[in-house]
Amino acid sequence: MEKTITVTVNGTAYTRTVPLRLLLVDFIRDECGLTGTHIGCTYEGRCGACTVQIEGRAHKSCMKLAVQADGKEITTIEGLGSRDNLHRLQQAFSRYHALQCGFCTSGILMNAVDFLNENINPSEAEVRRALVGNLCRCTGYSHIVEAILAASATRHGLKPVPPPAETEPPP
């Protein structure tokens, strides 16, 4: 069975006739052509790479059907910032070296933006708890946590957490 739905993604309305069982992550990637939303655990809901915002709240898009997003506003990583105007959290990720391969990054950013909207001045423990649904195989999380704390501090006019010290080049 199919249904015609209209989903607004990053401000653009996409009207498509889709199978009832189509997952939202596949709608975003295949119907909207927005491949910044990743699939890491093949639809098991464990990795968080597919996280987007639905009506401003973070959701794993492999755990939702596309038809459940009918009439809703979705934000993906492509709608968070632009190359010339990065979101403050993207700036912090760059400054604090919070990514390596980057596969997890879009999902973590979409989750963390929602988290920061709800948590004005989070502790490190709260940030780590918020990341429990996002797996990163590369970074060890420390720089991700520092970047999120720094973005929070910047947002509220506080002194940002200082960036990691530059590594001295070998003699």
Read off the DSSP letter of residue 13. Answer: E
Q: Furthest-apart CA pair in the chain: how many Å?
A: 67
60 near ligand FES, judged by CB under 6 A: yes
Neighbour count for residue 22 (Cβ, 10 Å) = 18
- The region of 7-15, 37-45, 119-127, 162-170 touching ligand FES under the rule CB under 6 A is 37-45
* Nearest approach, Cβ of residue 110 and ligand FES (Å): 12
Write the binding mask 108 to 127 for ligand FES: x where contact by CB under 6 A, - elsewhere: --------------------
Give the C-alpha distances (Å, rounded to integers) separating 123 from 24, 33, 45, 146, 153. 32, 37, 26, 11, 11
Q: How many CA atoms lie within 13 A of 117 on its CB side?
A: 11
Contact string 143-162 vs ligand FES (x = CB under 6 A)? --------------------
**Chain residues in the site for ligand FES (CB under 6 A):** 39-41, 43, 45-50, 60, 62, 99-105, 136-139
